[in-house]
Amino acid sequence: MKKKKQNKPGKPAEKKDKLEIETKWIFFICIAAVAIFFIIYFLHDSLGTIKWNEHVFHRAKVGQDNGWEANISLINGGLFLRNSPLELEKIPANISGGIYNNAIIVLTPEISNCSNKRIAPIILVQFLSYFGVKVNAALNETTNIDPNYFAGLDTNKSCMDAIKKTVFFLKKSENNETKIYRDKMYKDCIIIEYEDCDVMKGVEAFIIHEIAIIEENQKKIAEKNNSTNNSLQNISSTANSSN
């Protein structure tokens, strides 16, 4: 009779060790996959948000335009910018001072060649309307202006028209630099110079700087009111203690 083959000693132990190693590797791979997922998620989330002036902006898209969006109490429905507010705040702006309830946006002929010639002035009008400013559009001159698009607008307007109204003068920069400032002679004329054809960047830079000014003024008023209230409370406490 043939003898039955006996299993070599240690065979089951080897299989058990191999199974334990495989289980540990599977567990390690699962943990690593979860860790990588959370790293990518939080990294993406951090790259998709920026903070400006105590406001958190998130990446957003409106129509075909990508940009940044934030909830700002000054703006009903939130603020959407096509440019990063961190880049916009770097643009020089000397616009301290008031704005009349009536304003004119004056356009120069160069804007006819720009792709955002329509939307940029509209964005400025919408922003000003949040503060009750009534705005009309006008032309500086009619040379090389598209008559179909700009038909019906007043012509020959400039900073000289800033009499008891604010003029926003949008013009292409001669030095290829975006900047915002008030005219030296006509202080109620705010000039927005834009680089190349980036009218939107100039308009949004004005919006960012104007919001910063308004919020800073609100902060000062709130601090002054708090200081006054504290003083009144101290006076009241002193009077009560003396009685």
Helix (H) or strand (E) holding 124: helix 119-129
- What does the pLDDT average to over 163-168? 96
Question: Contact at 8 Å (CB) between 107 and 137?
Answer: yes
pLDDT at residue 121 tops 90: yes
What integer pLDDT is reported at residue 44 of this predicted model? 46
Residues 189-204: tens digit of each pLDDT: 999 999 999 999 999 9
Which segment of 118-127, 170-179, 232-241 scores lowest on mean pLDDT? 232-241
**Pairing mode, if any, of strands 79-81 and 65-70?**
antiparallel
Residues 71-113: tens digit of each pLDDT: 998 898 899 999 999 999 999 999 988 999 999 999 998 888 8
Q: At 154, is the secondary structure helix, strand, or coil?
A: strand
Distance separating alpha carbons of residues 94 and 194, to the nearest angstrom: 15
Question: Contact at 8 Å (CB) between 135 and 103?
Answer: yes
Better-scored residue on pLDDT, 15 or 52: 52
Residues 209-230: tens digit of each pLDDT: 999 999 999 889 988 887 766 6
pTM of the predicted protein model? 0.75
pLDDT at residue 180 tops 80: yes
What integer pLDDT is reported at residue 168 of this predicted model? 98
Residues 15-51: tens digit of each pLDDT: 666 666 767 667 777 777 666 655 554 544 446 899 9
HEC-encoded secondary structure of the chain:
CCCCCCCCCCHHHHHHHHHHHHHHHHHHHHHHHHHHHHHHHHHHHHHCEEEECCEEEEEEEECCEEEEEECCCCCCCCEEECCCHHHHCCCCEECCCCCCCEEEEEECHHHHHCCCCCHHHHHHHHHHHCCCCEEEEEECCCCCCCCCCCCCCECCCCHHHCCCCEEEEEEECCCCCCEEEECCCCCCEEEEEECCCCHHHHHHHHHHHHHHHHHHHHHHHHHHHHHHHHHHHHHHHHHHHHC
The per-residue pLDDT of the chain, averaged, comes to: 83
What integer pLDDT is reported at residue 132 of this predicted model? 94
Better-scored residue on pLDDT, 230 or 208: 208
pLDDT at residue 163 tops 90: yes
pLDDT at residue 158 tops 90: yes
